Structure formats: C-alpha cells, structure tokens
A and B are shown apart, each in its own frame.
Chain A
C-alpha cells in the first residue's frame, strides 16, 4: 500500500514570497490533516479535512495560509506571503475515518524562509 506522498520535500524562499505544498493521502482515507512542526516542538494542527469538508481550521493563520482538498483526495496548502516564522516542516497525514484512528504521515516538506 502506498503511503502519504508530499511534494516538494524541501523549499527555500524569501520572505513575502508565496509557496504551495501538495499532499496525496493514502487511497480511501477520509480524513486529511496538515500540521506545522517547528524545530523542537510537536506537530501543530493547521487544518483537518473530512472528505472535502473542513472539520477544523482554528489554528490556521487565515490572513496568509489557505488550504483546499479537491474532490476529497489530494490537498494543497499555500502560504502567501511567507514570513520568517513560517520556517518549519509541514506534515500531511491521513487516517481512514477520523482522528480516533491511526494517523499516517507523509515525509513532510521542509520550508526555509530567508
């Protein structure tokens, strides 16, 4: 079974630029999560989708971050414009049903904002 795919794996941009990350969850998984993990901290949930609907986006900085999950499968996370403090690893995860299930994580995208 293929795992969660993410791209790109690494991205370096300058502040005020835009960036987008892509995630393909495990086939058939209803729930998709985007997390931000800053060095030395645990993953922080940014947004959670159930199929193509948003379950929670309370910690998503909506003035600069946006996310969508088209047709309940792939998802993209965008940052526009980026700030220095956005430097982090962005992890995508999926679970078969919901958050009471095991989450399967992708390898992450390591973002550096200069």
Chain B
C-alpha cells in the first residue's frame, strides 16, 4: 500500500456543483496534513491546512478522519477557476518527512 493515495480523476463537474476528494494515508502516527493546489505547469501552492477539528475557508472545507486514516476536501459552488490538480500532503509518523499524493485532477466546465 502506498503511503499516501489519491484518486487521480479527472473529476469533471459543472459550474456550481459540489465535489469532494479523499486522500488516504498508511502511517497512523502521521501528525500534520495539508491540501495544495497545482495549476497546469505551475508550482504547488497551499490551499489549506487540515486540523483535527476540521476547517473551512469560504467554499472549501477540509476534514481529518484519524480512525479511517483519510483527509477530505469539499468544494462547494465550483467555479471554472477551481480547475486544477489538488495534492494532499501528509507529514509525521516520527520522521517528519512530507509525503505528497499523486494529486486529483478537477475540471469544472460551463
């Protein structure tokens, strides 16, 4: 089993739709979690950190489920500009080495 797994997609959704991605991790001792956004041929940029209590930033909600070892990202009211690849990052488990998933591609169409 890979350390961090994501469904590569693509998720093809219309504008205004709600879409959710999951990211599973194998190391139960992992301690910090992030979602990054990567536009085509650009560098990754932080979208949001994922806290144990969950967090929300506008249309974006991130949650952590430690029992099932996954994090999720929910995007409400999708915009064309949300089209990108969403990367999850998991740190910790003793080594504090950041591990990226392969990313989930989102395409929002008119």
Contacts and interface: CB of A to CB of B under 8 A. Distances in A.
A105 B44 contact: yes
Nearest to A98: B96
Contact of B101 (A42, A55, A56, A91): A42
B99 A45 contact: yes
A100 B102 contact: no
Interface string B68-89: 0000000000000000000101
Contact of B87 (A42, A45, A48, A98): A42
A25 interface: no
B30 to A, nearest CB: 11
Contacts, number: 56
Interface residues of A, number: 23
**Chain A interface helix/strand/loop/mixed:** loop
Nearest to B44: A105
Interface size range on B against A: 20 to 34
B46 A102 contact: yes
Contact of A99 (B46, B49, B96, B103): B96
Given A105-B45, A106-B43, A107-B43, A99 B102 contact: no
Interface in A67-104: 91, 98-100, 102-104
Contact of B98 (A103, A106, A108): A103
Given A103-B89, A106-B43, 6 more contacts: A41-B102, A100-B32, A102-B34, A103-B46, A105-B44, A107-B42
